[in-house]
Chain A
């Protein structure tokens, strides 16, 4: 590789950065891949995550090296990862789904009811029911947003309350107790395969499938196109309505799955299950580098964001930060992520402008 461009890039590091943005194809594939990874937002948050784990472990070795620590490290974020993956897809299309917390509560309670009302029902059937009901609730959101042409923020804020109202009416003060659920189902909440908890494996499968779809499939790429410029996407002839509908159904179905996981993990479901989880999911997505205006970011980032959010919450008590400050730290993290986005975007624009001026 001795093209003139490459030599210039090697001798002037500043220009290498510029080349990566202006003429990425001038770099060798290997260098380009390396540059992409090194400049990726995902790597940055992964490093922050590693730092959090390292500091917490140094401070208190039980954080990583006691009986349940490894399991909890992987298990605790599983549900938020599933929610964040669905949320990321919706946000990439420049929408948002605030109803996922209520959807989760509905399917978590449904899970318990199914086990109580239909004794002996197979676990697979319950999981399918959770996915279907979640998907159906997502479809309602999708139809209202995509066909009704109402902003997603308003629609899903409405369904957040409606779905929660349904759970409150249905469950009332009744709650699902651990003794109502079959032991085989409860043990799914903690069982491990090769030291990896089952629920974590579920989250990984969801992450990999959705990530692969977004990265390679036509539908996935179209979602980015729609989020990055909806009007252009329409003019280009993309089926915007169908893609947005798909995104909401996916988000709903994943929230439904998370509801079943919730029941297995916590063993107790009340009408208040998952209150506020929609905001955690949005926070995870934002921290993970998905632009809140859509069109960029990855589900990998969103998933790492979810793990970071949950892990920080678990690490802060160990670091001796009082309960009251822990939420402030999470808030600062979100604002920090947004500010970082802004700074990086500004720098990119400046670099591109300089390149244009030079040429």
Chain B
């Protein structure tokens, strides 16, 4: 362990007294994914839209051809460390509890967190609150989800994408500030930090049309940056398109499963009317399993099923 601030030691001690499970931070240094890992990814639009492209998930899958690692993407546009996008009919606090429950149900061994972009608009004034809320999120997840390994991912920069769009200079100052805060948080818990803010030595890797969200090419590049900064240089090899398409399909099916349309009638306050249709929702599970099996097959053979 490196230099650990005193309050961290104290909070560990307090936690140890009350919760033995979470007494010890679960970390991996250097980070690697293990056979049997269940990785849950949470955050805002960046990780939600990753499902459409699935470059990051595919790269991580392909990196370990002989390890069975499964991914569940719980990204939700506009989300923050306070789960502000997840309240639905309830206040964000209930959405936060729901996030805890959803993550817990998935029994994750690794949780990757992609927060900071949306919070950064609050600037310097919002920073202490962000740090407080992020720390609380990690603490709560540790307890709820049986102490998973955390990977804290910083937001990426905004770019100048056209004259009509806002100048990103100020946003980027804030993003940098928030990224540093996330790095400090990771440091303080000995968790893994992935810096997506820092440009490459060869230049900027971001590709975006609106300055803040990535294009498909942007995601392809992001997967390289992400793998190398998480797993080390040259950790990103060529990935098979078949494998990527299978991952995308699995993610689509899982999205129907965990965030179905018509939730008002299926599980919400009008379930007494059409709640009988909710029986269909778990019927996606075998379809997801089928896709997982296909992904495993493609992973083992390097993406070529023929």
Do they bind each other?
A: no
Residues of B whose CB lies within 8 Å of any CB of A are: none
Residues of A whose CB lies within 8 Å of any CB of B are: none
